Structure 1
Amino acid sequence: MKIPAEPGPEDACYLGFDIGGTKCAVVLGCRMACKKAGEQDPPRVLGRYELSTQGVPASELIQQLISAARKLIASLPAGLRPRGAGVSCGSPLDSHRGLILSPPNLPGWDRVPIVMMLKQALNMPVWLLNDADAGALAEWKFGAGQGCSSMVFLTFGTGFGAGLILNSRLYSGIDDGAGEIGHIRISPTGPVGYGKAGSLEGFCSGGGIAQLARMRVLEKTQMGQTVSFCEAAGGPEYLTARIVGDAAVQGDPLAKAILAESGTYLGRGLAILVDLLNPERIIIGSIFARCQPWIWPSAAAVLQAESLERTFRRCRVYPAGLGEQIGDLAALAIAMEKEKECQAI
């Protein structure tokens, strides 16, 4: 049977809101009601809007998100509405009360009642999860985590956090605090992440890699050496993880060394997770997926050296399988999973 091009009255549609530190997205996804769309097939994205987060007050941005969502709903055939909406956002948050609680990458988002605001505006069920938990759901259902019962998903993007699938269930902790591995201090000194110098997020995030690059470039400059990718960027203050990654692709030895250094600390974090949780798989997204050739060798060596042999042998590490779609599918996965939980009650 051919999957229909447009959703019909029996198809299940959902909205997803992916709220990040630099940009937000609103997506409309559909699970087609036909045999070829098996349970493990990701929803098809029917429409999408992307908005800038930076410099926009929370209240104003939420109104923009609502406006975009209404346009997507209006694009559906008559009589068809989304069954619910999922909101994916960085921690900390309170999923039970639907509050975003001042994430470090979203200044000004202090106790924002995002679930209530979207429910009232869109008249549908709305659920909130942190981005690591949402990414774990998406990779478990549709990506590199399919078929396993215990896995860890690591964000490795603007921030660094873990989403945990344990014994075939999402584990968020008593108040959404599980998986905050980015806050662990992995070195006495180093780049600042999650407000803490030398934290895992400091070494394994976009901002952290940029800080690390500035440190290493400064060392080279003090030795009288020039760094071509820094000059091309306009100076150390303009360096980003993407610039470092692009330079590594071009074979720049310092860029490759910076990513390898990030990998060393990633390996220490992975060893903690492997010995603590004994997962079947660890799946790493975003920057790791793009820069794996330079990050993974050092991470793998440290992981093997620092973890127990038995737990190390049982665990496999993969880049995220959903690629650049993971943010969209993670937000949609929240709505799909939470609706299923409600139906099971």
Structure 2
Amino acid sequence: MKPVSSECAVGIDIGAGSGAKMGLFTREGNLLGESLLPIERYGRSPVVMVGELAGALRDLVKGSGSPPLIGAGVAMPGFACSDGTVRCNNLPFLDHVPFVPMMEQAFGLSVCVVNDADAGGLAEWSHARTELLYWVFGGGWGGAWISADGQVRYPAVDWDGDDDTLHYSNEPGYAIPLSRERMGVELASLGGSWEGFERICMAEREWPGGRLAGPNGRLDCVRAELFVSGNGRWRIFRTLAAADGYDLARLTPEERQALETPSNAGRVIDRLAEQGCPVVRRTDLMFGRALAAAAEFHFRSGPRGNCPDGIAIYVGGKPSRALPWFGPEAESVMRARRLHASLKLSWFSERNLNANLAGAAVLAWNRLKGS
């Protein structure tokens, strides 16, 4: 391949599922090359992982024309720490590991680590170039507040473990409480019940203390992402389908199997939404109402939720495909509550691109080369 003279930043997205994605990005955000390092290549060893990432980077650089590198940005679930370690419950083998110095030694480059939602927000800003909130739905609900000049406000760094010190813009699903009473009323208005929802949740997995609780163990509420997430939409659907006596036999065996786990259920629920399924229609009404309740708490909770009302909210992650169905109800409730924020589909989700990967490279350019 012809040598490339343009400087590039390395973007790396370390997920908890299939493995680590890697890309080379120019200052303008153009992707020169990308690769995937399957999780089977490194398993649960930090040393093996860093070595495999370094080897994958060498191969990627060589195959992309050997551009000069300015450094690497790494997006991952959890919190970065100023001492170079990470706090990562989803990847416990990396928890409290001096990940940054290990990577810098193996790569021969400066490395910076960022929470994956912060990375997605930076990527969104690289196209919108305006102040924004980035909300990403998956197994949970992450977020980032990006300033007009492309800086992460209240980044996920050096968290002390106290839920009450989290800024709502950064960990909305984990830190924002939703009232059990209000959610129960909303479920009942749509043909479900709090008791039915709780049964679905308790059958899904073991919860800390054997119960559903809110931030810092509060029992009058739950964490917002119990409802507002890809998994949350699945829980709502299962609750309302059970209450409605919805006949799953009308689905194919493959679809019924997919509905057993939240990670596989989204596309089936989306297809049913496209067909106008009444249970899914009520599912998305409930999702929208829960999202609006969380947004109201976010914007009206003083110093921990001090984003300006009216800010553009970009929605990402695979569940954002359902925005046409839950978005109108969420915005209708927000308007009734005199909130003016609007929901927009992420530029990256719209194009089925990886925002975390691009955002990690934006971080590298901003931190290591100056924005």
> Which category of TM-score, normalised to the shorter sequence, fits these structures?
0.7 to 0.9
Structure 1 residue 22, shift from structure 2 partner: 1.8
Structure 1 residue 199, shift from structure 2 partner: 1.8
Distance 1:300 1:166, change over 3 A: same
Taking the TM superposition and a 5 Å limit, the aligned residue runs for 1:247-286 are 247-275=272-300, 276-279=306-309, 280-286=311-317
2:133 matches 1:152: yes
**C-alpha contact (below 8 Å) 1:15/1:29 kept by paired residues:** yes
Task: Tell me which protein shows more helix as a share of its residues.
Answer: 2
Identify which of 279, 292, 308 aligns with 2:323. 292
Letter in 1 for 2:276: G
Distance 1:14 1:269, change over 3 A: same
Structure 1 residue 266, shift from structure 2 partner: 1.1
Distance 1:252 1:67, change over 3 A: farther
For 2:346, the equivalent position in structure 1 comes to: 320
CA RMSD of aligned residues (A): 3.1
**C-alpha contact (below 8 Å) 1:21/1:54 kept by paired residues:** no
2:179 matches 1:187: yes
Letter in 2 for 1:15: V
Deviations 1:23-65 (A, max 9, x none): 3333232326xxxxxxxx4232422225348993153544443
Deviations 1:251-291 (A, max 9, x none): 32222322332121111222334443115311111235311
Identify which of 31, 36, 39 aligns with 1:44. 31
The secondary structure found in structure 2 opposite 1:210 is helix
TM-score normalised by length of structure 2 = 0.74
The secondary structure found in structure 2 opposite 1:186 is strand
The secondary structure found in structure 2 opposite 1:322 is helix
For 1:38, the equivalent position in structure 2 comes to: none
2:330 matches 1:335: no
Structure 1 residue 88, shift from structure 2 partner: 0.6
**Whole-Å separation in 1 of the counterparts to 2:369 and 2:361:** 13
Letter in 2 for 1:321: W
Distance 1:31 1:271, change over 3 A: same
Higher relative contact order (CA closer than 8 Å, sequence separation 6+): 2
TM-score normalised by length of structure 1 = 0.79
For 1:138, the equivalent position in structure 2 comes to: 123
Deviations 1:191-218 (A, max 9, x none): 7699655321111222222333333333
Identical-pair percentage: 24
Letter in 2 for 1:21: A
**Whole-Å separation in 1 of the counterparts to 2:40 and 2:82:** 24
Identify which of 7, 24, 42 aligns with 1:12. 7
Structure 1 residue 185, shift from structure 2 partner: 1.9
The secondary structure found in structure 2 opposite 1:301 is helix
Runs of at least 5 residues in structure 2 that lack an aligned partner in the other structure: 160-165, 181-193, 214-221, 301-305
The secondary structure found in structure 1 opposite 2:359 is helix
